[in-house]
Amino acid sequence: MPEVEVKEAERFMVESLVAAGAPLTEAKAHADLLLHADTVGHFSHGLNRLELYINDIQSGVCNGNAKPVILKETVATAWVDGCEGLGATVGNFCMNLAIEKARECGVGWVAVKRCNHYGMAGYWALKAEKEGLIGMSFTNSAAIMVPTRAKKSANGTNPIAMAAPATGGDSIVVDMATTTAAMGKVEVQICKGEPIPEGWALGPNGKTTTDPQVAFDTGRLLPLGGFEKTSGYKGFGLSAMVEVFCSGLSGSRATHNVPLWTYNQTEAPNLGQCFVAIDPGCFAPGFEERIADCLQHWRNMEPVDPSLPVLAPGDKEKNNAKATTARGTITYPQAQLDSYKRMAESIGVRPLEVYVQ
Handedness of CA 139, 217, 184, 21 (dihedral sign): negative
Higher pLDDT, residue 12 or 182: 12
Contact 292, 171 (CB under 8 A): no
Distance CA 123, CA 131 (A): 13
Question: How far, rounded to the nearest angstrom, does the alpha carbon of residue 88 sit from its chain's CA centroid?
Answer: 11
pLDDT tens for each residue of 334-353: 999 999 999 999 999 999 99
pLDDT tens for each residue of 297-331: 999 999 999 999 999 999 999 999 999 999 999 99
Cβ neighbours for 279, distance < 8 A, ≥ 6 positions apart: 102, 103, 106, 107, 132, 133, 134
Question: How far, rounded to the nearest angstrom, does the alpha carbon of residue 262 sit from its chain's CA centroid?
Answer: 17
Buried b / exposed e across 328-357, counting CB within 10 Å, b at 16+? ebbebbeebbeebeebbeebebeebeebee
pLDDT of 150: 93
Distance CA 296, CA 301 (A): 9
Reported pTM: 0.95
Distance CA 276, CA 128 (A): 8
- Reduced to 3 states (helix: H, G, I; strand: E, B; else coil), residue 274 is strand
